[in-house]
Structure 1
C-alpha cells in the first residue's frame, strides 16, 4: 500500500485513552446521584450558561417549537422518519417469536421478542442541531414498542432552551417526555434517575467524550447501544467521480476535528484528482476550519496494488461508514466483514444514510464494527427464552444434568435434577 497522504496526528487515541476524562465523569455521575435535578441544572449553567430553573421541557414548549418549524423542514423530517420507520418495521419482522417446539422427547423450547420498558435517547447540542439524530433514535424505539421514550438534549449555549427544531422534531415523532439536559449529567440522570427523570432501561445516542465515557461507566446499571468515538468513513474506489469522493470525505471531516476520512484507491490518478478537489472545496465551505483540521490531522489517501489489498485494509480498519465505488461490487461485498454501514456505488452517498434513506446513522466507530453492528430496532428488543418439560422429558434431562452437576461439585444442582427423576 503506497501512502499518498498520511495523517499529521499519528497516534489516534485508543478507546481507553480517548476519554481521558474518567475521573471527571465519575465525579459528575456521583454528583447527579447525590443531588439529582439540582446537579443537572448546575451542569447546564456551568457549561451552557443557562439560567433555566427546570430540566423538564413542558409539552407547551414542544408544541410551540413544532408550530414554528419551517414547513419544508418539517416535510423533510416526515420523509426521513417514514423511510426509517419502513426499514425498522422490516427489520423487526426478521426477528420473529419462536413458537415452542420439541427438541427432545418431552422437551419444548421457544422464545418471545419483547421490547424494553423504557429508553433514554440523547441528542447532542454543540455546534449543530442534530435533527436527524432525533429521528434515528426515536423511530426505531417506537417501532420496537418501547412504552416510555424520554429524550435529553442540552440548551443552546447562552439560552434557556434546546434548539427548537430538535424540540419540534421530537414532538412530531410523538416524544413528549423531554428534558433540557446535556453531557454526562444527562446520561447520569437517565441511568440513575432524579426527582424529574425516572431511570430508564437503555440509553442510546451519540455525544462527545464526556457523554461516551458516562455511557461506559453507567453500562450495567442500564443497557447502552455501544461506546463510540469520532466519526469516520473509508472509501474504496477503483473508479468514481473525484468530486463525489472529495465531498464525501469532507462531509465526515466537518463533523469534528477528530473525525477521520480515508480513501483507498487502485488509481493514483484518481487519488490526485480527489486531493486537489478537497483543497478547492475547503476554500469554499463555511465549516472549513473544522474540516481542514480533521483532514490534515487524520485524513489519509492510500494507493492499493489491487482490490485484495483494499479489502484486507478495510477489514482491519473496521470503519463506521464504508463506501464502495468499484467494478462488480457484488464480487467483493461477501469478503467485507467489518463495517457499520455499507454504501454501494458512487450514487449511494454516505450523507443519504445520515439523513433520509432509512438505514440508521448511529453506528460503531473506532473498530467496534468488528463485534457489533449499528443501532437498529433490535437494540430495544429482548429475546426471552422459555422451556416446557414433561414428566417423560425430565427423566433423560435429570440423568444428564445430575452427571454434569456432580462433575462440577454442585450437589444441590444434582439433587434438583434427580428429584424430578425419582418422582417421575
Structure 2
C-alpha cells in the first residue's frame, strides 16, 4: 500500500448543479434569440459588445501586424511541429476496399466533417497554443470550414491568440467567449452558421456546455481541470520534479498535481522545494491553492506498484522521471499523454513539441485518448455485391437471421434477392421473375 506524505480528496467528475443550470439557461436563450442573446451575454460576462463579433480580414491583418516578430516566428514554429505530427497521424489512416468473398466488396473511408468550431480559451491567460491544437489539426484532417472563437481579455483583443488562429488557418475568427460562444457554434445564429463538431478546452462552464450540446453537435472530449502525475525513482532530481508539478498547478486552483515515488527522501525533498518555490511564483494565487488542496505525494515499494497506482489515477499528463522511463510504455495503459525522461516535460506538450494538448481528464483516460486528426474524421463504410450468386447466399442467410429476431421486413429484403437471382420461392407473395 502506498504511504501518503501528502494527501488530497479526489477530484469530482460531477458538475455542480449551479453550473448545469446556468449553462442550460444560456443555451436556451441563444437557441431562442440568436444574435441578440449572444450580444447581451457577451456584454454581461465579458463587457464586450462590438458591432460584430467576427473579425474582418483587414482587422485580422492589422492585429497580426502588431504582434512582435519573435512571437509570430515562435507561433509558426510551434504550429509546424503540430502540423507535422498531425500529418503523420493522417497518413496512418488508410481507406481500404476488400473482397470478403467472391463478388462481395466491403470498404472503409475516412471523411472529414464539413465544419468545425474551435474554442480557444482566454479569461486570465491567453491560451495561444490551443489555436495550434484545434485549428491546425482540423485543417490537416481536411475540414473545409473552421470557425474559431476566443474571448476578449479584460476588454482587450488578445492579439497573439488572433495571430495564432489566423496562421493556423481559421476561416472565421470571432472575438466571443464562454457558453454563448459554444452555443452559437453549435446552434448557429443569424450571423454564425452552425458547425458539425466543437473542439477545444475551457472552464467548467464551457465543458458543461459541450456536454449539454453533445448530440446536436459532435465534441472532441470533456477536458479540465488540468492534471499532472509524475512517477519518479531515486535517480530523479527533486528540484525538477517540484518545478514540473507547479508548472501544471498554475492552470487553476483545482488542478491536481501528484507525485508517485519509490523514494521517501525524494518525496520529502520535493515537498520542501514546492513550499520554497510557491511564494516566488507570479501565478501562486492559482498554483498555491491547487497544491494545497489537490497536491499529493505517495511513496510506493517499487516501480511496478508505481505504474499500477498511476493507472488507477488515469491522469491527463503522466511524466516518467526514472532510470528507464520507456518501461512505462509497456507497463501503463491509462493516461492522456506520456512524457518520458528528464529532458521532456509536460509544458513541451502543452505549448510547442507537436503532440496535441487537448487531453482527457477526471479519469477519462480510462476510455479515450486526446484530440487528434481522427476526431475530425468520420469513419464510414460501404458495401457492394457484384455477383448474383453471392447475393443469393446472403439473401438466404439474411432471411434466416432476420426471422430469428422477428424482423420480417428485413427477411423479405433478403428473400426477394434470393428469388430474383436464385429462383427461390417467395412463400409470402405470388410475384415471379422471368429467369434470363
TM-score range, shorter chain: over 0.9
- SS of the residue corresponding to residue 373 of structure 1 reads coil
Match of 2:434 in 1: none
User: Is the contact made by 1:19 and 1:209 (CA closer than 8 Å) also made in structure 2?
Assistant: no
With 274-283 and 141-150 compared, the bigger mean Cα shift is at 274-283
Q: Which residue of 2 aligns with 1:34?
A: 32
Q: Could you tell me how far apart the structure 2 residues matched to 1:361 and 1:114 are?
A: 23
| Corresponding position: 1:221 with 2:239 | no
Instruction: Say which SS state the counterpart of residue 297 (structure 2) adopts.
Output: strand
Give the Cα–Cα distance (whole angstroms) in 1 for the partners of residues 289 and 200 of structure 2.
Answer: 25
Equivalent position of 1:43 in the other structure: 41
**Counterpart contact for 1:143–1:377, Cα < 8 Å:** yes
Q: 1:129 aligns with which of 126, 129, 138?
A: 126
2:377 alignment partner in structure 1: 381
Query: Unaligned stretches of 5+ in structure 1?
Result: none
- Inter-partner Cα distance in structure 2 for 1:309 and 1:362: 28
2: CA distance between counterparts of 1:282 and 1:398? 71
1:203 deviation in Å? Answer: 0.1
The residue number in structure 2 matching 1:2 is 3
Residues 340-393 of structure 1, C-alpha deviation per residue, up to 9 Å, x if partnerless? 100000111110001111000000000001111000111111111111112121
How much does 1:101 deviate? Answer: 1.3
Q: Are 1:62 and 1:176, in contact at CA under 8 Å, matched by a contact in 2?
A: no
Return the match for 1:312 from 303, 308, 317.
308
Distance 2:305 2:289 in 1: 28
Shift of 1:209: 0.9
Which residue matches 1:212?
Answer: 207
Structure 1 position 13 matched with structure 2 position 9: no
Distance across 1 between alignment mates of 2:409 and 2:102: 25
C-alpha distance in structure 2 between counterparts of 1:104 and 1:413, whole Å: 22
Output the CA distance in 1 between the equivalents of 2:293 and 2:177: 28
Give distance in 2, aligned partners of 1:357 and 1:415. 57
**Structure 1 SS opposite 2:356:** coil
Q: Is the 8 A contact 2:35 2:191 kept in 1?
A: yes
Which residue is 1:68 aligned to?
66
Distance (whole Å) between structure 2 residues aligned to residue 280 and residue 385 of structure 1: 58
For the Cα contact (< 8 Å) 2:255–2:294, is it kept in 1? yes
Residues 157-188 of structure 1 show CA distances to partners (whole Å, capped at 9, x for unaligned) of: 2x2x5311111211222224111211111111
1:330 shift after superposition: 3.2
Residues 1:253 and 2:249 are matched in the alignment: yes
Distance in 2 of aligned mates of 1:231 and 1:43: 27
C-alpha distance in 2 between matches for 1:21 and 1:395: 57
**2:19 is aligned with 1:24:** no
CA distance in 2, matches of 1:219, 1:26: 13
Q: How many angstroms does 1:19 deviate by?
A: 6.3
Contact 2:15 2:208 in 1 (8 A): no
- CA offsets 1:258-284 (integer angstroms, 9 cap, x no match): 001000000111111111111111121
> TM-score normalized by structure 1?
0.96
- Helix, strand or coil at the partner of 1:56: coil
Which structure: larger Rg?
A: 2
**1:339 maps onto 2:335 in alignment:** yes
Report the 3-state secondary structure (helix = DSSP H, G, I; strand = E; otherwise coil) of the residue aligned with 1:263: strand
Provide the C-alpha distance between the structure 2 equivalents of 1:78 and 1:18, rounded to a whole number of angstroms: 39
Determine the structure 1 residue equivalent to 2:356.
360
Give the Cα–Cα distance (whole angstroms) in 2 for the partners of residues 216 and 322 of structure 1. Answer: 25
Per-residue CA distance 1:42-93 (angstroms, 9 max, x = gap): 1111011123232222222211111011111111101100010000000101
Stretches of structure 2 lacking an aligned partner (at least 5 in a row): 422-436
393, 398, 405: which one aligns with 2:395? 398
**Structure 1 CA distance, aligned partners of 2:114 and 2:328?**
41
Give the match's secondary structure for 1:329: coil
Does residue 164 of structure 2 align to residue 152 of structure 1?
no
